[in-house]
Structure 1
């Protein structure tokens, strides 16, 4: 379980990007975070895995306060936090297998990674997971030869190779076409159930959030202003979350019908 208490993130002397934020994510659930650009969604995810240092507050993952960790303890904790990126973050010149094995870098000696001498059990596990997501036949193919959906599946397997206690996904479908986006969201939902994994997704597409998430969290100006099941996300809630947002962004987020009603 992930439990965030009174989380604050401030850059310099400016206003906080995250303001006393509280959030709990249970196991085997998908929580979608929505909100306009600048709401603090990506900062929240990056505070959890300490890619961004929180200014104050506590982030507890299964009894471990991540904000209190330093050095080797922090590196060990990060191994159990899988991250799926919008831009895939693959090494294009490496094969799918090599990219997938990068998820084991926190577990194996550096010389094994440099020499590409991966343990047999890691290779076996990689093939199992690649088969599970439908990319095992690309194991020896370079990453830059894959489509966007295939590249994102590599990113998902890489995260699973970490044996994570939670998956964080930062706009995982933003670079994909609609059909592929649905496939990736369905994959994340099924993997959450299969591995009893909590999945926290920063997502701009509200329609996808309502279809695939168990719970939706709406953010505005660094605060959570909505937290409920997808069916509760009505026009009034959307209006509150996206109030003052440019029309283009509201429409892209799936709020076009609200905007149209306002201007009618």
Structure 2
């Protein structure tokens, strides 16, 4: 369970990017975050794993308060938060297998990583996951020789190698063609069910959010103004998210927690 309470992020003396945001993501759920550029979607994901430091508020993952962790405690917790990036974030000169094993860096001694002497159980798990997403035959291929869709599958496996408690995906299909985008979203949907993982996806494509996620969160100017099922995202709710209707109108399209639980 991810529980976020009154989260605020401010850069310098400017207007806060996140303004007292509250959000809960239970286990085994696939949740998409939509909103115009500048809504705070990426900042929210980066606050969860503290790639960006929150200004105030609470972020709790499975009972652990992330915002107060320091050094070793933060490192141990962060390794259980899988992250999939829009730009893939692969090391181009390394092989697919070596990139995938980067997901284990928080678990193995430094000397093993430096010498690329990965535990056999990690190699076996990597092959299993790569087979699952269809890239096992690329294990020895350099990352820069892959297509965009193949590179993103490497990113997915790398995140899963962390044995994560939650998977965060920041615009995972933005750099991909429409067909490959749908394949990646379908893959994330299936993996969430198979591995019993909560998945939080920041996405611009509302059609994909409707089709592949079971809950949609709409943000505008750092606030959560829609939270409901895909079928509840009607034109009025879309206007609230992307056109900026009044706060009263926005609240009208935010179902209560009891409705979301059904």
CA distance in 1, matches of 2:21, 2:236: 22
Q: For 1:218, what is the secondary structure of its paired residue?
A: strand
Q: Which runs of 5+ in 1 are unaligned?
A: 245-264
Q: What does residue range 1-264 of structure 1 map to in structure 2 within 5 Å?
A: 1-243=1-243
- CA distance in 1: counterparts of 2:239 and 2:20, whole angstroms: 23
Post-superposition shift, 1:240? 1.1
SS in 2 for 1:37: coil
Q: How far is the alpha carbon of 1:47 from its aligned partner?
A: 0.1
Equivalent residue number for residue 256 of structure 1: none
Distance 1:95 1:197 in 2: 27
User: How many residues get paired?
Assistant: 245
* Separation in 2, partners of 1:27, 1:191: 13
**Helix, strand or coil: the match of 2:4?**
strand
Match of 2:172, SS state, is coil
Cα-to-partner distance string for 1:43-70 (whole Å, 9 max, x where unaligned): 0000000000000000000000000100
Instruction: State the TM-score, normalized to the length of structure 1.
Output: 0.92
Tell me the secondary structure at the aligned position of residue 57 of structure 2.
strand
TM-score computed with the length of structure 2 as normaliser: 0.93
Q: How far apart are the structure 2 equivalents of 1:163 and 1:194?
A: 13
Cα distance in 2, alignment partners of residues 38 and 144 from structure 1:
30
Q: Deviations over 1:173-197 (max 9, x none)?
A: 0000000000000000000000100
Per-residue Cα deviation, 1:11-48 (whole angstroms, up to 9, x for no partner): 11111100110000011111000000000000000000
Q: Describe the SS at the equivalent of 2:163.
A: coil
Aligned counterpart, 1:250: none
Cα deviation code 1:192-248 (max 9, x no counterpart): 00010000000000000000011000000100000000000011111111116xxxx
The one-character-per-residue Cα deviations of 1:131-189 (angstroms, maximum 9, x if unpaired) are: 01000000000000100000000000000000000000000000000000000000000
1:10 & 1:91 partners in 2: Cα distance?
Answer: 31
Separation (CA, whole Å) in 2 of partners of 1:195 and 1:109? 26
SS at match of 2:47: helix
Separation in 2, partners of 1:169, 1:29: 13
Moved over 3 A (4+): none
- Spell out, residue by residue over 1:62-119, the C-alpha distance to the aligned partner (whole angstroms, 9 max, x if none): 0000001001000000000000000000000000000000000000011101100000
